């Protein structure tokens, strides 16, 4: 989830909790019922927040895991490419050495 979506969800949860709290406070009911409703509302909000935190945590773990796999793949590719380049450099140096030996032999004659 994007950062904006997370903020929107959090704002909606906070607004719902505040609205529910105000509705309960202004509703004509016995004090014990009002306190129970407030407590239940806070428990529900706590559970919603806990669930949201778990979702965000799992999302971050997933993204971190994917980034790790991508980094490992890129590193493996870099090593393979370096090995290939090393072989190209050695072949080029051997070819140039052979050319120089040939030129040196021609110069002696």
Gap between the Cα atoms of 104 and 8, Å rounded: 78
Cβ-proximal residues to 9 (8 Å cutoff; 6+ apart), any chain: 1, 52
CA 7 to each of CA 3, 4, 11, 57, 62: distance values in angstroms, whole numbers, following the listed order: 6, 5, 6, 15, 20
* Residue 11, helix vs strand vs coil: helix
What integer pLDDT is reported at residue 10 of this predicted model?
81
Give 2's pLDDT tier (boundaries 50, 70, 90).
Answer: low
Is the predicted pLDDT of residue 1 greater than 60, yes or no?
no
Nearest residue to 35 via CA among 48, 43, 50:
43
Domain that holds residue 36: 3-108
Question: Tell me: the pLDDT tens digits for 21-78?
Answer: 777 777 777 777 777 877 888 888 889 888 989 999 999 999 999 998 998 999 888 8
For the chain, how many structural domains are there in total? 1
């Amino acid at each position: 989830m994007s950062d904006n979506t997370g903020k929107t969800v959090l704002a909606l949860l906070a607004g719902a909790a505040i609205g529910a709290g105000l509705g309960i406070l202004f509703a004509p009911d016995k004090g014990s019922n009002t306190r129970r409703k407030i407590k239940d509302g806070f428990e529900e909000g706590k559970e919603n927040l806990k669930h949201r935190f778990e979702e965000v945590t799992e999302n971050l773990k997933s993204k971190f895991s994917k980034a790790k796999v991508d980094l490992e793949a890129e590193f493996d590719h870099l090593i393979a490419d370096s090995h290939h380049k090393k072989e190209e450099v050695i072949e080029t140096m051997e070819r140039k050495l052979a050319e120089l030996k040939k030129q040196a032999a021609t110069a002696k004659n």
